[in-house]
Amino acid sequence: KNRKADKIFDERIERYSKRLARYNRQVESYTAKEKAYNNAMADYELRVDNIKEEINTHLAFLTAKYNEVKSLYDQKRLNLAIKQIAGLIRSGSLRTTTPEDVLQRYATVTVKDQMYNDLVRLSYHINFYSYLGQFEPDYIRKHFVYKGKVMVNRMKYKGFNYRQHSDLLGHLYTNVKYEAMMTGEEVPTLIQVAVTQKKEADRAAGITPLSEFDQTYNAVTSKMGWINCDRFSRVRLNRMVNVSMMSVIGARMMVYVKKFKSLMNANSGVARVPKGTRIKAIFMTTIDGRPHLSIDEIKATGNIGIQPDYKPMTLEEIKKVMKEI
């Protein structure tokens, strides 16, 4: 019994020794693999940091370039606005008590030149790198890379919109230079002086502002409607044209769109309609206490400025003319 027990013990010791030798070999291999893994992980984290740092550096460069071009673009538009309003003043065509609105309209107009194209392109690139910066390199390689290149089409499948960057693209339609100029004291004061002089000149010419009348007359018709400001919101911007209407202070200005048998308010001095639209520019005012009316029919094939040719009329005559529109 003892000899049998010793034999079993010796066999188990032999098997244990073999397992121990195999374990020692595996531990050695595991230690080497663990070391290699730790080194690889450290290298990966370094590469990830480097990639993210490169993306952030590139984003900072693109943003700085965008702001630089935007500053030049704003100054160019502001120069255009000042030139336009100065021309209107010299020619006596500025017929508004809020010239700052006219100035702002010109200062924020979209000038589709090379600087505009550069701003759009830079905003797209900023959007691109901002989106990539959200992901790890492995995810980018797995989902976005094809034949060594990041493919925008693959990014779209994950919800990326290459042309959507509302903050920057919306920024194109503002003018920081204009806003800075109008927050000072000098320019608004000069504008107020010019408005006061214009009112005095109109009053000397027998033109009375609408606000000074004790009574106003209203007419109602069931055959015409009003076009809201969003009536042409679905029309592409490059298919729209400006109809600039210039009249005396206090004049009522409207655009009649024949296609819809409806009126559009143009008291701001401008109306926007689709290119090729047939319209009638309607001006109403009082001169020496008498009502005057001017109606011009045109086809808006491009940006156009219209000045009224007033004719004195009675209220009954105006009512008849408006019925025949």
Q: What is the pLDDT of residue 202?
A: 66
What does the pLDDT look like over 205-221, one tens digit per residue?
655 565 555 455 555 55
Confidence of residue 44 (pLDDT cuts 50, 70, 90): low
For residue 143, give the amino acid letter. Answer: H
Q: What is the mean pLDDT of residues 120-147?
A: 79
Cα distance between residue 320 and residue 261, in whole Å: 16
Apex CA 153: angle with CA 64 and CA 238, to 5°? 65
Q: What is the pLDDT of residue 47?
A: 62
Q: What is the pLDDT of residue 46?
A: 61
Burial of 211 (0-12, 13-18, 19+ CB in 10 A): exposed
Top-confidence range, 195-204, 228-237, 286-295:
286-295
Q: What is the pLDDT of residue 241?
A: 87
Going by their DSSP bridges, the two strands 225-226 and 262-265 should be labelled as parallel
Of the candidate ranges 25-29, 88-92, 100-104, 241-245, the one whose mean pLDDT is the lowest: 88-92
Q: What is the mean pLDDT of residues 263-285?
A: 87
Query: In sequence order, what are the beta bridge partners of 270?
Result: 244
Identify the CA nearest to 85 among candidates 74, 93, 77, 73. Answer: 93
Identify the CA nearest to 306 among candidates 258, 262, 265, 253. Answer: 253
Q: What is the pLDDT of residue 192?
A: 77
Q: What is the pLDDT of residue 219?
A: 52
Cα distance between residue 187 and residue 100, in whole Å: 9
Identify the CA nearest to 190 among candidates 79, 103, 87. Answer: 103
End-to-end CA distance of the chain: 127
What does the pLDDT look like over 54-80, one tens digit per residue?
788 888 888 889 889 999 999 998 888
List alpha helices for 92-219, DSSP H: 99-107, 114-132, 137-143, 152-156, 166-171, 176-182, 186-204
Task: Name the residue with higher pLDDT: 174 or 191.
Answer: 174
Q: What is the mean pLDDT of the chain?
A: 79
DSSP 5-42: HHHHHHHHHHHHHHHHHHHHHHHHHHHHHHHHHHHHHH
What does the pLDDT look like over 227-270, one tens digit per residue?
776 778 788 887 888 888 877 666 788 889 888 888 888 887 88
Of the candidate ranges 69-83, 139-153, 266-280, the one whose mean pLDDT is the lowest: 139-153
